[in-house]
Chains A and B, each alone.
Chain A
Amino acid sequence: MQNYSRRRFLFVSAAASGALLVGWRGARAQALPYLGAREEAQALGAFVRIEKNGDVIIGARATEIGQGVKTSLPMLIAEELDVDWNRVRVEQLPYGYIDTDKGPSNKYGDQGAGGSDNIPSAWKELREAGATARALLVQAAANKWDLPKENLRTSSGQVIAPDGRTLGYGDLVEAAAALDPPKEPPPLKSPEQFTIIGKPTKTVDAADIVTGRAQFGIDAYLADALIAVILRCPQLDGTVDKLDDAEARKVPGVKDVFMIAGPKPDEPIDGALANGVVVLAENTWAALKGREKLKVEWKAGPWAAESNSALAAKANELLDKDADAVPVRKDGDFAKAYKSASSKHEARYEMPFLAHATMEPPGALVQVQKDKALLIASLQTPSRASQTISNLTGIARKDIEIRLTRAGGGFGRRLKNDFVAEAVQVAAKTNGRPVKLIWTREDDLRHDFYRPFGVHAMRAGLDKKKKVIAWSHRCAATPRNYRDSGMKSAPLYIGCIEPQDFPAGLVANLDKTFFPIASGMPRGWWRGPIHTFHAFAVQSFIDELAIASKQDAVQLRLDMLGPARKLQFGAPDDSGYDTGRLAGVLQLAADKIGWKEKRSDGHGIGIACHFTFGGYCAHAFEVSVQGKDLVFHRAVCAVDVGRPVNPLGLEAQMIGGTIDGISTALNLAITVKDGQVQQHNFPDYPLLRMAQAPKNVEVHIVESTEDPSGAGEIGIPSVAPALANAIYAASTVRIRKLPMMPELLRLL
């Protein structure tokens, strides 16, 4: 994430209609006091707008990708504003770029979606925005009644005097808009006073979604927009050798055909992802038909020989030889402790490349004019999209308008803006005419920034009392930072193995080492990225250790976690992770699945837990293998993300994370052969269907008074290992390679 200036000022002003607006602007004038002075508001530039008739409109700043922030963030504002949630209308704010003395900033704060950080970053600042608006309304009422403001209270959009008189917020907006905002942020409610936070709250866009009115990026149209599709080189870093577009140009509705440049081999992939041929047409169908008629001969690039089998062989070779090692973490002396251990265990686990496969594929509607540009698209980082457009066009970022829509899934795919870059490159050739770039599913699966491929080699030594005294986790993988200019200085292991994750700090002699494998596959973040990638190995291996040493798999984890205490996670001053909370969700999931109860009839139960992004989660499954089918009998998820802002949304994230985890673990892999991705569309990248999914996911939310953390990613890392452990319990087949179903059928 870009380092924005954190200094922002709240502003207060009246709209032309007389409405009260409370918003932020950047730290431009240093002389202004904290919380700023009066300033004319931009049209939409406000978190809160209260009309004279009492209508309350709250601006939603973050990009909604299905994680529920368009509902949960406005709840934070509404809570402190003290309004009736049923009377609140939520509107999506556009991207809020502003220039400041200190460089680029954003008048709404962080609008991106990544790292599950929307809720934690908004927890204080958005409540303060709501509290400021409320303070102004109270002050306006105090002035009107000539009473001290301390004697007044608010409830459901009204200010209430000690004698019972009331004034609706709508009656106060004109007077409030004339007041200067408070010099200090007003005090926030104590949690006992919450009426909105913690209450199950439905998705604000639900009615629009079920009636087809909700707008996603792909739904944006401009009157004279041309549709673009691109035939991209199927080979990694390949180029166009020969192009014959004569037939394509004959398709009615096709307007133009031209080439588009991808990145040069070994240069960062900051723009388009691949070399290709653009077909511009009057409508999508004509564009697609035109593309089918293209005759292109491709020239293979430097990765023409790349294949999954070679990558796996290379990974195992590096691990066998202990070659090209990049140290990640060393505690104590692993080699010595392992040598002295009374029992030794080892296993390797293989993880495939994964595509994001958002239901709404990438795409963008772009208009580039001489000195301004417009983008409407489903995004996860509007700030980087704005940078991309500015870099490619030279247009100043303040002159780039970005309208945000709901996104049909994100999962990390839209942290990249290659599709925006493509649309801009195309729009540069249309003389100001807008261009709508459409990606098909085939484009999407074959041109993604994939989750890395890798092999985890685990070793552990136990002493006579069956205590884990030595732990080694060596990971050979395709480094995540490949051709990523934002990660140039990041260590090679970032994105594949996490130095501080469980069981770091819990085993005296610990070694984590990384072995980079060269690959031409573009790589990116994939929901709970590092964590889904390595928790499978860690939590499967623990299960194997427990079984091999005849210990209870839950108790072994609890023993390792030890007494409740905080371990460092992230920077030394970050809040760290609490072994007690991790033990808590593990125990809760174990209790709910009935861990101690013996299963019969071929049923097996498995469990796993994980901590990341401030959240704690455990999964437990009860499954059986019937013929060639895996049958789910129960799916349990226990989660602790601190105080839940919206329990209904949190439950949805856990159900979704669980099913996404199952879907991915069972069937999904991207494979590469001859330098080309082998998958084409959903039949060979088969997301789970309803019939294959558990009918119910039992979600148990830990009551907590800790500050909330995000929930978009914590629901997935513990799924795959819990499932593998359950399959072992049911069938004694140990799955050490994902996806599971092909492995299960091979091993049965």
Chain B
Amino acid sequence: MPEKPVRHAKPIAVPPVAQSAKEPVLPLRINGKAFFHNGDPDMPLLWYLRDVLRLTGTKYGCGIGYCGACTVLVDGKAQRACLTPAKAVSGHEVTTIEGLAGNSELHPLQQAWIDEDVAQCGYCQAGQIMAAADLLRTTPHPSDDDISKITNLCRCGTYPRIRKAILRAADAMKK
């Protein structure tokens, strides 16, 4: 039988993809842990997270930074991982959906997303939550127009519940 796929993007049960040992090693910090990337330093963070670390919560959607499915936080700021070369985040703190809650079980946004039952197919939602995390960092009490600044795409049309979830999380974080 072939090996089963990694079901959860938790600590890796599968060895990372072999990279050329000739490349210089690139130190990275992701979700509070140190990693050393020994492949192409231009590899987009998206593919480093997915193919190498198997942190698959960060999704591919368009590859041109338009749809936001790959949104991660770099030093707390939302950034499209598909356009971010790995080398650009060396020396910075990267947070992915898997690390958003830190030591808690769930970030208030994640809880709000569950409470509002936002997800349909669910594919874009990690990126939506990361974009919302950045929004609440700069705008703890967002207006409708503030929320409208999130440009992440959702093909299922969950936007109304995303709005509700962000307001709910903002409320929860105030308390």
Contacts and interface: CB of A to CB of B under 8 A. Distances in A.
Interface stretch (A294-302, A330-338, A658-666, A737-745): A658-666
Given A222-B3, A357-B155, A693-B159, A406 B101 contact: no
A420 B152 CA distance: 28
Given A409-B123, A655-B161, A697-B160, A215 B117 contact: no
B51 A285 contact: yes
Contact of A407 (B121, B129, B144): B121
A691 B97 contact: no
A282 B62 contact: no
B123 A203 contact: no
A657 B50 contact: no
Nearest to A358: B155
Given A223-B15, A283-B39, A690-B159, A441 B61 contact: yes
A283 B121 contact: no
A681 B15 CA distance: 33
B122 A656 contact: no
B5 A210 contact: no
A233 B56 CA distance: 30
A596 interface: no
A530 to B, nearest CB: 21
Given A221-B5, A407-B121, A285 B63 contact: no
A358 B155 CA distance: 7
Interface size class of chain A, counting residues whose CB lies under 8 Å from the partner chain: 35 or more
A445 to B, nearest CB: 10
Contacts of A682: 62, 64, 66-67, 153
Given A359-B124, A367-B2, A212 B153 contact: no
Contacts of B80: none
Given A222-B5, A689-B151, A210 B47 contact: no
Interface string B133-175: 0000000000010011111111111111111000000000000
B64 A68 contact: no
B25 interface: no
B117 A374 contact: no
Contacts of B157: 655-660, 663, 688, 693
A663 B39 CA distance: 40
B117 to A, nearest CB: 5
A434 B154 CA distance: 31
A687 interface: yes
Interface in A393-414: 403, 406-411
Contacts of A649: 117
A652 B120 contact: yes
Pick the most buried of B60, B123, B161: most chain A CB atoms within 10 A of its CB.
Answer: B123
B6 interface: yes
Contacts of B97: 210-212
B160 A210 contact: no
Contacts of B15: 223
Interface in A266-295: 282-286, 288
B20 interface: yes
Interface in A345-388: 357-361, 365, 367, 374, 376
Per DSSP, chain B at the interface is loop
Interface in A202-222: 202-203, 205-207, 209-216, 218-222
Contact of B155 (A210, A442, A660): A660
Contacts of A65: 121
A227 interface: yes
A198 interface: no
A704 interface: no
B148 A690 contact: yes
Contacts of B106: 207, 210-211
Contacts of B10: 213
B153 A689 contact: yes
Contacts of B18: 282
A66 B60 contact: no
A652 B123 CA distance: 15
Interface string A687-701: 111110111110000
Interface in A30-49: none
A162 interface: no
Interface string A184-195: 000000000000
Nearest to B44: A285
Contact of A215 (B7, B39, B47, B51): B7
Interface in A641-682: 648-649, 652-653, 655-660, 663, 681-682
Contacts of B20: 252-253
Given A409-B123, A660-B155, A223 B163 contact: no
A209 B156 CA distance: 14
Contact of A359 (B44, B61, B149): B61
10 contacts: A213-B10, A219-B56, A222-B14, A285-B40, A359-B59, A359-B153, A659-B157, A660-B155, A687-B154, A690-B163
Given A253-B40, A403-B5, A438-B60, 4 more contacts: A218-B56, A219-B5, A441-B61, A659-B158
3 closest cross-chain pairs (CB), A and B: A212-B57, A659-B157, A66-B121
Interface of B: 2-3, 5-10, 14-15, 17-20, 39-40, 42-44, 47, 50-52, 54-64, 66-67, 69, 96-98, 100-101, 106, 109-110, 113-114, 117, 119-126, 129, 144, 147-163
